[in-house]
């Protein structure tokens, strides 16, 4: 029996590697003669560097950068074997996990540090940059990145707006005259982890800003900033961002890069899957085991486990999708996928996260035992 273990992280409790190790041990307990293949994966956001380092040719490098509050940090990026291409993971410099709960202030947090890392990579001679989104603690529409590369975002009086997305509703003009010429010549590929648009009910502010620390009033302020950004970009550059699929990824970074640096947006999971040959690997398996911390409505907008299950479905391979919390227990389009809740009914989020290893192992043991019983 060939089993592929390919989970995402359980955010706030277990990394993808830790989840995979627990799953591996559990599968081998029930199916000791199985050939287990561990491949902790990513939807193009957090964990992408590990996926690339484990499955493609190139090297992990490190440089001085800054976090979402502009504090200096050392952050890694992946440089491909050809030395001309690099993968930068936004969460390494603008990540929500780098911030304390009291520091979650999406009106002020910025992607400026990501821009400084990009500047470093450009100066190292890279002419093709993959920017992996996801896991951000920012809602600045990528304005921090553009600012770090020489751009300016001005109000009606010609004053530069402060870092963060909180003041973008005052945006009057985008000045790109002094933008780094290397950035203009670079080929940009943005690995999006979600399909949400920039604004609206399903947009970045209304969908993700709350988990980044925004109040109801601040969410509306960020939404207003997103709409203003759309207006200014349309007026200055003739680009309509209203219906851009994936424009809301990572607090709107995708929309900013698409409109101001001519970046191409790609599904992050599909991009990594292509770079690592995942489709062919899945087709050789008898069972796929994947999972994430919470499986809910957001998961259907292109999150990793649903895409793993879709590839498995297309290959005719059954899958188990393990999640700490489950709000959607079936997906009609994926009859070969069984969704399993790890945490017992009534468990608080805090308790579920604290006991994630135990709950995951116990739930997977039961699910695998059922498979063994029904398919002896």
- What does the pLDDT average to over 73-93? 96
On whether the 48-269 domain is CATH 3.90.1510.10, my answer is yes
Q: How confident is the model at residue 376 (pLDDT cuts 50, 70, 90)?
A: low
As a whole number of angstroms, the distance between CA 122 and CA 86 comes to 9
Question: What is the rounded CA–CA span in Å between residue 253 and residue 266?
Answer: 13
Q: Predicted confidence band at 301 (pLDDT cuts at 50, 70, 90)?
A: low
Q: If one looks up domain 2-40+277-374 in CATH, what number appears?
A: 3.40.50.10350
Do residues 368 and 322 lie in contact, with contact meaning Cβ atoms separated by under 8 Å? no
Q: Has residue 98 got a pLDDT over 80? A: yes
Six token digits for residue 175: 């000045």
Taking residues 242-265, report their average pLDDT.
Answer: 96
pLDDT of residue 295: 83
Residue 345: band (very low, low, confident or very high) from pLDDT cuts 50, 70, 90 = confident
Average pLDDT for 163-184: 98
- Rg of the Cα atoms in the chain: 21
Q: How far is CA 25 from CA 17, 37, 206, 309, 323, in A?
A: 12, 11, 39, 21, 17
- Is the pLDDT at 3 greater than 70? The verdict is yes
Domain boundaries, the chain: 2-40+277-374, 48-269
C-alpha distances (whole Å) from 28 to each of 18, 337, 367, 375 are: 16, 20, 13, 16
When pLDDT is averaged across residues 297-319 and rounded to a whole number, the result is 87
């Amino acid at each position: 029996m060939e089993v592929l273990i390919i989970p995402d992280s359980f955010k706030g409790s277990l990394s993808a590697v830790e989840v995979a190790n627990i799953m591996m041990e559990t599968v081998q307990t029930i199916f000791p003669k199985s050939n287990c293949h561990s491949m902790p994966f990513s939807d193009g956001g957090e964990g992408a560097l590990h996926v690339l380092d484990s499955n493609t040719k190139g090297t992990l490098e490190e440089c001085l950068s800054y976090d979402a509050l502009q504090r200096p940090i050392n952050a890694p990026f992946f440089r491909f074997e050809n030395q001309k291409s690099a993968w930068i993971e936004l969460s390494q410099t603008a990540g929500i996990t780098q911030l304390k709960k009291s520091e979650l202030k999406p009106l002020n947090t910025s992607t400026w540090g990501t821009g400084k890392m990009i500047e470093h990579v450009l100066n190292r001679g890279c002419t093709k940059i993959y920017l992996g989104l996801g896991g951000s603690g920012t809602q600045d529409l990528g304005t921090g990145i553009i600012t770090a590369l020489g751009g300016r975002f001005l109000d009606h009086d010609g004053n530069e707006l402060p870092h963060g997305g909180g003041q973008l509703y005052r945006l009057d003009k985008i000045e790109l005259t002094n933008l780094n010429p290397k950035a203009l010549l670079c080929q940009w590929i943005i690995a999006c982890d979600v399909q949400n648009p920039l604004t609206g009910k399903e947009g970045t502010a209304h969908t993700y800003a709350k988990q980044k620390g925004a109040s109801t009033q601040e969410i509306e302020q960020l939404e207003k900033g997103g709409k203003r950004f759309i207006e200014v970009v349309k007026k200055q550059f003739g680009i309509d961002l209203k219906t851009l699929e994936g424009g809301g990824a990572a607090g709107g970074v995708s929309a900013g890069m698409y409109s101001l640096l001519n970046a191409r947006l790609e599904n992050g999971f599909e991009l990594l899957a292509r770079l690592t040959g995942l489709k062919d690997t899945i087709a050789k398996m008898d069972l796929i085991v994947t999972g994430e911390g919470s499986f809910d409505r957001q998961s259907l907008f292109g999150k990793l486990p649903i895409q793993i299950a879709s590839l498995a479905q297309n290959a005719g391979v059954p899958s188990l999708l393990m999640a700490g919390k489950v709000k959607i227990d079936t997906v009609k389009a994926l009859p070969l996928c069984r969704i399993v809740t790890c945490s017992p009914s009534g468990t608080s989020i805090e308790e579920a996260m604290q006991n994630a290893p135990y709950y995951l192992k116990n739930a997977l043991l039961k699910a695998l035992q059922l498979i063994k019983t029904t398919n002896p």
